[in-house]
Amino acid sequence: MNNFKELEQEQTDKFENNINSIKTKIDSNLGTLGVFTQVIDVYFSKVINYVVSLSGGSEEKLLNRSNNKK
Amino acid sequence: MINLLYPMLATDITKKVSDEDLVSLYLETQNVAYFNIIYKRYAGKIFGKCLSLLKSESEAEDATQDIMMKILMNMAKFSGKSRFSTWIYSITYNYSIDYLRRKKKDPSVYIEDYLENVDVEDEVSDSFMLEVSVARLKKILNDIPSGDRTILLMKYQDEMSIKEIGGILNKSESAIKMKIKRAKQKFRKTYKENYKEEY
């Protein structure tokens, strides 16, 4: 291990607390992102159907069409 | 393969699986446990580089967080043409250089080739660079301009090839060789100024 790598290792050991606190923040970001994705997953198709029915289209037809495709 | 590896997560997968395999496993399963191993391997190194370049603990923390999120979100873009570590460090260096440019903290980062009289014939040996003690290395790296510090870290800490450095900094190989030469001279000059009595 050369002196540059030793310096890198020294910094990694010295700032372990900072690295742990960054991980906590990332986990919290990922949690928020996950919830947001789930909300989109669950409600987005419903919003689309609602918009379609508002504009005069039939929600049932839309559902049948997507079921037939599957 | 995943089923075989998954139980190992509880034991000691961290040393057994290559970075590239971890990326593939993460992309296949979207299991954060694989990202956590990558985080454990690289967060300290990324933080150290950000701290060396940005010189502020809080800025280095924010930068590391942003960089790790970038890595996570762009994992699918890793093509495998380079080493995974090189890919991660290129994100780290580019982020830090952009950050310094935006803050205009250190002009040498964004001025193409800063004008300075350096003797291009006067080569500083690698052995000189590698024999400096860690405490002194830390001091000298802190005192030289960010542009020089960046290129020295790439060469001696990350052991990147001239071609890899050129790819990250978007410069030709001959330009990188010249930059390394200048950075080493700057390093030696600063060393002499700090430790006159021994030189």
Same domain, B149 and B84: no
Whole-number pLDDT of residue B119 = 58
* pTM assigned to the model: 0.77
pLDDT at B12 exceeding the cut of 50: yes
Do B126 and B63 reside in the same domain of the chain?
A: no
Residues, chain A, total? 70
Same domain, B93 and B121: no
Q: What CATH number corresponds to the domain at position B86? A: 1.10.1740.10
User: For B41-54, what is the mean pLDDT?
Assistant: 93
Domain end: B43, B78, B105, which one?
Answer: B105
The domain in which residue B33 lies consists of 1-105
CB crowding B148-172: b at 16 or more within 10 Å, else e: bbbbbbbbbbbebebebbbbbbebe
3-state helix, strand, coil in chain B (%, to 5): 75, 0, 25
Mean pLDDT across B84-91: 94
A6 in reach of chain B (CB within 8 A): yes
- The single-letter DSSP state of residue B76 is G
CATH code at B196? 1.10.10.10
Shared domain check, B69 and B137: no
DSSP A1-69: --HHHHHHHHHHHHTHHHHHHHHHHHHHHHHHHHHHHHHHHHHHHHHHHHHHHHTT--HHHHHHHHHHH
> Which among B55, B76, B105 is the end of a domain?
B105
User: What is the structure's pLDDT at B175?
Assistant: 94
Chain B contact probe: residue of A1, A26, A30 with most B CBs at under 10 A: A26
The overall average pLDDT reported for chain B is 86
Q: Which tokens sit at B134?
A: 């860690």
Confidence at residue B115, expressed as pLDDT on a 0 to 100 scale: 45
Q: Are residues B74 and B163 in the same domain?
A: no
3-class secondary structure per residue, B86-113 = HHHHHHHHHHHHHHHHHHCCCHHHHCCC
Per-residue pLDDT band for B111 (boundaries 50, 70, 90) equals very low
A39 to chain B, any CB pair closer than 8 A? The answer is: no
pLDDT at A66: 62
Q: Which two tokens stand for residue B189?
A: 């000059």
**Domain end: B81, B105, B129, which one?**
B105
Q: What percent of chain B stands above pLDDT 70?
A: 83
Select from B42, B38, B31 the least CA-distant residue to B6: B31
| Token pair 């399963």 in the structure block, residue | B29
For B26, other C-beta atoms within 10 Å of its C-beta total 20
Cα A41 from chain centroid (whole Å): 11
Q: Each residue of B161-176: pLDDT tens digit?
A: 999 999 999 999 999 9
Mutate to test the interface with B, among A15, A25, A41 (most CBs of B within 10 A): A15
- Give the number of domains in chain B: 2
- Are B51 and A3 an interchain contact pair (Cβ–Cβ within 8 Å)? no
**How many CB atoms neighbour CB B53 within 10 A?**
27
- Any CB–CB contact under 8 A between B95 and chain A? no
A41 touches chain B (CB under 8 A): no
Q: Taking phi first (over 0 means left), then psi (-120 to 50 degrees means alpha), and beta for anything else, what does residue B80 get? A: left
Residues B89 and B57 occupy one common structural domain? yes
A6, A8, A13, A32: which to substitute to probe chain B, counting the most B Cβ within 10 Å? Answer: A8
A-contacting residues of B 115-134, CB under 8 Å? 130-134
> Which positions 55-84 of B are in contact with A (Cβ < 8 Å)?
57, 60-61, 64-65, 68-69, 72
Q: Are residues B165 and B199 in the same domain?
A: yes
Confidence bin at B51 (pLDDT 50/70/90)? very high
Say whether both B147 and B82 belong to one domain: no
| Higher-scoring residue by pLDDT: B75, B104 | B75
A37 touches B: beta carbon within 8 Å:
no
Same-domain pairing of B149 and B66 = no
pLDDT over threshold 90, residue B183: yes
Residue partners of B56: CB distance under 8 A and separation at least 6: none
B contacts of A10 (beta carbons < 8 Å): 134
Please give the Cα distance from B42 to B52 (Å, whole number): 15
Domain borders along chain A are 3-69
Please identify every stretch of chain A with a pLDDT value under 70, giving residue numbers as ranges: 57-70
Among candidate residues B94, B74, B89, the one with its CA nearest the CA of residue B23: B74
Query: Do B85 and B138 fall into the same domain?
Result: no
A40 touching B, CB under 8 A? no
Residues B51 and B82 in one domain: yes
Contact call for A3 and B152, based on CB within 8 A: no
Query: Which comes out higher in pLDDT, residue B197 or B152?
Result: B152
Are residue B96 and residue B162 in the same domain, yes or no? no
Handedness of CA B168, B172, B174, B175 (dihedral sign): negative
